[in-house]
Structure 1
């Protein structure tokens, strides 16, 4: 990645973490020098000199910059590790406050007795799907059936979560799209039942240029909650990118849950009960 791209990405990430554009640019500029005056920061960051003082004042308030009251004033960024910890704490604090605030808001009126057994919802993005996967596994009461079609799904966090579920007495069964992946999972989860899935349609068809979608994960919780996600590969000017999307359904009578349960049982273990 070029220096210009790194600079731009750093500014954008700082903005995503709550800094305004000039604040982010000034912090990135300061991180590149031992210390600097407003004039030097302005020249390095392309922030108007008159706006540098305001930006630095905010950075100082947030614990991201230090000021030396000399003539002229000198400024410097706190060490990167310290800045990262400060931003992480601020982000987590805001997230916790958001959760408490949302929980304290009274729910909007809804139709009583509304039927929810046949609803199917869509999710998009690796983070959202990974978080939903984690929540579903944490909420399992009896059984977890997880078919893995994409190697990237298997993370240390997921392995640990499945291991803990198995140790608490839950039935955990894992299907893998290939023998190599099965061996990888079995090594990490020696006490969990792991099969090579018979669901050949999990993978994209290499002979079909239009088929660039792979089923990445099928998760069945207590035989009444299902999450199915797929990864699509798209070619761009910068190379190929992957997008993960998922559908989520709950309810024993939900058609998609019934179909997925029977398909998974058949493909995961020939002797499994598909009912």
Structure 2
């Protein structure tokens, strides 16, 4: 009977591309200095005839060494070596996926980005990924208003810093003076300002979400994230809306709100 750790290891190996019997055989071999097909079959609960097929695949992947004899003996690479090999394979596949997805053409030549659509995102990872992407795409002006500092991750700090070092106007706003001081220390190339949008982090009702980030890129891309605090030490629930296009209704409203103060003296043609 496989332990919980063995079952989890098998599932993780399958997520990385190994088939079930291959994963089970590899996990079994990690428990042995070396083993025969019978040894592997007994530990992994894999039919002996299938062990040979699985081990041949593992050998071709560089994860198992074979000692030819009668009977043959098999040895798994060390955990560290196996993790390195699988990590390289995983990275290569992600790189290939990114390349091929970029090569996929839009269906019937349709525009992939509609100027009237608004998209919803949920979860910190998805919001961080989309925010990082649009910040990195900035060519002229980035307005980055922080309502909740917890929404500003290290990855976003790095992306903001790299963007500010380019020929881009980066304006970072926050309500509290403490937050502004921290932003000046972390983002010396950016223009840090005090925003009068106190409503960003002051929900009117107890369970009402507070604004996490309000991001406008080149005045035609907008992302607004929010956080809902559930109390009791639970992580806040994060969600966001995202729109693109100078005539997008969501972008127009946000641009006009910001224009009342922050953008009033800046050339809208820039």
TM-score range, shorter chain: 0.7 to 0.9
2:249 paired with 1:258: no
Distance (whole Å) between structure 1 residues aligned to residue 4 and residue 135 of structure 2? 38
CA distance in 2, matches of 1:33, 1:242: 45
How far does the alpha carbon of each residue in 1:213-241 deviate from its partner, in whole angstroms, 9 at most, with x for none?
A: 45433221011101123345679xxx956
Q: Structure 1 length as normaliser, TM-score?
A: 0.75
Give the whole-Å Cα distance in 1 for the aligned partners of 2:33 and 2:148.
45
Gaps of 5+ in 1: none
> What's the Cα RMSD here?
3.7
Larger Rg: 2
* Higher deviation after alignment, 190-199 or 249-258: 190-199
Q: Aligned ranges for residues 172-187 of structure 1 at < 5 Å?
A: 172-176=170-174, 180-187=178-185
- Find out whether 1:62 has 2:58 as its counterpart: no
User: 2:242 aligned to 236, 241, 248, which one?
Assistant: 248
Aligned to 1:92: 91
Q: How many residues align?
A: 264
Equivalent in the alignment of 1:120? 118
1:160 aligns with 2:158: yes
Counterparts of 1:1-275 in structure 2 under 5 Å? 6-110=5-109, 116-176=114-174, 180-195=178-193, 198-203=196-201, 208=206, 210-211=207-208, 213-232=209-228, 240=234, 244-263=238-257, 273=264
- Alpha-carbon deviation of 1:249? 0.6
Task: Give TM-score scaled by structure 2 length.
Answer: 0.76
Kindly report structure 1 stretches of 4+ aligned residues shifted beyond 6 Å. Answer: none
Q: Deviations over 1:68-90 (max 9, x none)?
A: 22443332322333323322322
1:14-62 Cα distance to aligned partner (Å, 9 max, x none) = 2222122232233333334433333443444444444333222222221
> Relative to 1, partners in 2 of residues 1:50 and 1:220: Cα closer, same or farther, differing over 3 Å?
same
CA distance in structure 2 between the aligned counterparts of 1:257 and 1:22, rounded to whole angstroms: 52
Listed as ranges, the gaps of 5+ residues in structure 2 are none
Deviation at 1:253, TM superposition (A): 2.3
